[in-house]
């Protein structure tokens, strides 16, 4: 039995009683499992803290995605601050994803004379409250919420910036997928996101979970000029080395073989 622990049972996101039940189940299943494969150091640390101390059963194998292009094959990124800035966000519409912070940041940017269009992709229980927030801030024309899509890469490429201000994240596919397409990323460093962004050394991390931090990073990106290419390339090469599909599968085959 090989098991990858991540997400829900490690995040204590279902209330005290239900979270205790999940933890008890995890503890019981530990003894029926031969190998535990963790998608990030964060997930492993959470598991150790809540379920079982580290043992020989543990393996770390970062999630990976397919890199179809090299960095030099990506189209150049030129962001004109005088034009409408397209900001994309992808993920479940739940409070833990931080979409409210993004909408509030959009208000700050618009108030500062920066024209932005926020495109949120996803489904979830927070959809109506997000639309109501945009209405209350009087920026409803600048915010759109779209259902799940099949052409995620294409929508990411249409964005000038991708924002992922998640409060909890066991890994962080969205920033990784944006980096793969050469799109600048603003993201929190919560959970596994810190590992994707090399503990804040890559891209444009937010250290405080508030709208102003996001807005300030957008302004920095708009003023980067040629430096933006350096930031994009550094992030692309780091993620290509550490989170590519080939390495992920190679490690998994070795884990299964053992």
Residue 8: pLDDT over 80: no
Q: What is the mean pLDDT of residues 49-75?
A: 92
Residue 59 and residue 55: Cα distance in Å, rounded?
A: 9
Residue 61 and residue 252: Cα distance in Å, rounded?
A: 7
H or E element, residue 46: helix 41-50
* E-assigned strand segments in 91-136: 116-121
Confidence of residue 150 (pLDDT cuts 50, 70, 90): confident
Please give the pLDDT value at position 22.
87
Question: What are the pLDDT digits (tens) for 214-256?
Answer: 999 999 999 998 899 999 999 999 999 999 999 999 999 999 8
Please give the pLDDT value at position 7.
67
Q: Domain 71-242: which topology?
A: Rossmann fold (3.40.50)
- Each domain of the chain, given as residue ranges in start order, spans 2-60, 71-242
Q: What is the mean pLDDT of residues 175-193?
A: 96
Higher pLDDT, 149 or 5: 149
Question: What are the pLDDT digits (tens) for 78-97?
Answer: 899 999 999 999 999 999 99
Please check whether residue 47 is in contact with residue 202, taking contact to mean a CB–CB distance below 8 angstroms: no
pTM: 0.92
Residues 6 or more apart whose CB falls under 8 angstroms from that of 139 comprise: 103, 106, 107, 110
Give the 3-state secondary structure of residue 14: coil
């Amino acid at each position: 039995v090989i098991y990858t622990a991540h997400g829900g049972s490690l995040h204590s996101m279902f209330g005290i009683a239900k979270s205790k039940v999940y933890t008890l189940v995890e503890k019981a299943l530990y003894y029926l499992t031969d190998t535990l494969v963790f998608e990030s150091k964060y997930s492993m640390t959470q598991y150790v803290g809540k379920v079982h101390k580290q043992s020989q059963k543990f393996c770390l194998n970062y999630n990976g995605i397919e890199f179809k292009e090299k960095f030099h094959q990506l189209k150049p990124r030129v962001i004109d601050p005088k034009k409408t800035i397209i900001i994309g966000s992808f993920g479940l519409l739940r409070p833990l994803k931080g979409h409210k912070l993004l909408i509030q940041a959009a208000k700050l940017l618009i108030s500062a004379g920066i024209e932005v269009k926020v495109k949120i992709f996803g489904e979830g229980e927070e959809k109506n409250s997000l639309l109501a927030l945009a209405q209350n801030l009087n920026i409803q024309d600048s915010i759109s919420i779209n259902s799940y899509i099949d052409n995620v890469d294409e929508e990411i490429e249409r964005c000038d910036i991708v924002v992922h201000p998640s409060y909890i994240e066991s890994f962080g596919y969205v920033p990784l997928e944006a980096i793969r397409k050469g799109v600048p990323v603003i993201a929190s460093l919560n959970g596994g996101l810190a590992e994707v962004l090399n503990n804040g050394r890559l891209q444009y991390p937010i250290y405080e979970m508030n709208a102003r931090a996001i807005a300030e990073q957008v302004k920095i990106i708009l003023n980067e000029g040629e430096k933006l290419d350096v930031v994009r390339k550094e992030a692309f090469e780091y993620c290509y080395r550490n989170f590519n599909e080939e390495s992920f599968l190679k490690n998994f085959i070795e884990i299964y073989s053992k």
